[in-house]
Amino acid sequence: MKKPRRPIHRSAPPPSRHRPIEPHRLPELLAPAGSPATWAAAVEAGADAVYLGLKDFSARAFAANFTLDDLARLVPLSHDRGVKVFVAFNSLLKEEELTPALRLLDGLSRIGPDALIMQDLGLFRLVKRHYPQFEVHASTLTATHNLAGLRVLAGLGYDRAVLARELTFSEIEDLAARSPIGLEVFIHGALCFSFSGLCLMSSFLGGKGSLRGACTQPCRRRYATGKKSGYFFSPTDLDASTLMLRIRNLPLAALKIEGRMKGAQYVSHVVRAYRMLLDAPADRMEEALAEAA
């Protein structure tokens, strides 16, 4: 039985290095936070960890996102409630952006988030050299989809990899049993028309790079061909709720919900549903599914 969470709305303690957090028996439930309001919704709904981005160098440039001052307040609050905070620093960087990026990372090092989520290998190397205290997770934008890729990431020094969303359950099961580093898989939310990290559709049609957080999602639009029209390139959203009994028993580090562009109500509803499914006894999973729907 999970201990009740204390209320969020109280004055924040001064920024400090957080105390160690005990590991979870089940995979962590990792929720999106695109704003302080969605952070609060995710924590209140039962997330074990939240992932969020700064206003620069995040792969969700159109979300409200966070400042360093925001994180200096919210990271200690999260840790006080036993919730981890992962910072998505997962945009590809231009040469002239490396110095300002390192300045931001220096600020983050004083705040103490639990991990960085990264795509850019050059910036990753700089982080390992200058800020070795950071745990680093390979973003899904690295398109990691096989054991060879996981071994490369392990050799580079990554602590965890977010697997490509396009993998099947059996592929995830096999990788989970053999991976040299922790694995994180998406269980709910939007799917990319291409493999994540390999799509150039937004760049080609509008000059907005998806690998730099500016994807305009042209795959979500209606297209016409001859007399027919429809959403030909828009995949149905991922929903792994009916697979939770199998997924939660895999040796995975975290189960991730997509949605940093979503509002607080959506985040609250989805996190509560998956919290219920993660915690439900095996013989009551059907009841939990009905209640979570």
pLDDT single digits (tens) 130-146: 999 999 999 999 999 99
Q: Is residue 9 part of a domain?
A: no
pLDDT at 5: 56
CB within 8 A of 39, min separation 6: which ones?
Answer: 33, 50, 52, 74, 78
Total count of domains within the chain: 1
CATH number of the domain to which 177 belongs = 3.20.20.70
Which domain covers residue 246, as residue numbers? 28-191+236-292
Mean model confidence pLDDT for the chain? 88
pLDDT at 28: 98
Q: Is residue 229 part of a domain?
A: no
Determine the Cα–Cα distance for residues 262 and 31; give it in Å rounded to an integer.
Answer: 11
Q: Is residue 1 part of a domain?
A: no
pLDDT lower than 70: segments of the chain: 1-24, 58-64, 207, 209-214
pLDDT at 63: 59
Q: Is residue 68 part of a domain?
A: yes
pLDDT at 55: 83
pLDDT at 136: 98
Token pair belonging to 171: 């592929």
Q: Is residue 12 part of a domain?
A: no
pLDDT at 205: 78
pLDDT at 12: 40
In order of 47, 118, 169, 254, 262, the CA distances from 250 in angstroms are 19, 24, 10, 10, 28
Instruction: Provide the whole-model pTM.
Output: 0.86
In order of 15, 134, 139, 265, the CA distances from 161 in angstroms are 28, 15, 7, 28
Q: Is residue 16 part of a domain?
A: no
Percent of the chain surpassing pLDDT 90: 71
The 10 Å CB-count burial string (b at 16+, else e) for 228-253 is eeeeeebeeebebbeebeebbebebb
Q: Is residue 228 part of a domain?
A: no
CB within 8 A of 71, min separation 6: which ones?
Answer: 52, 54, 85, 87, 108, 111, 113
CB within 8 A of 246, min separation 6: which ones?
Answer: 169
* pLDDT per position as a tens digit, 190-232: 888 878 777 777 777 776 766 666 677 888 889 998 889 999 8
Whether residue 269 contacts residue 41, with contact meaning beta carbons closer than 8 Å, is answered with no
Q: Is residue 110 part of a domain?
A: yes
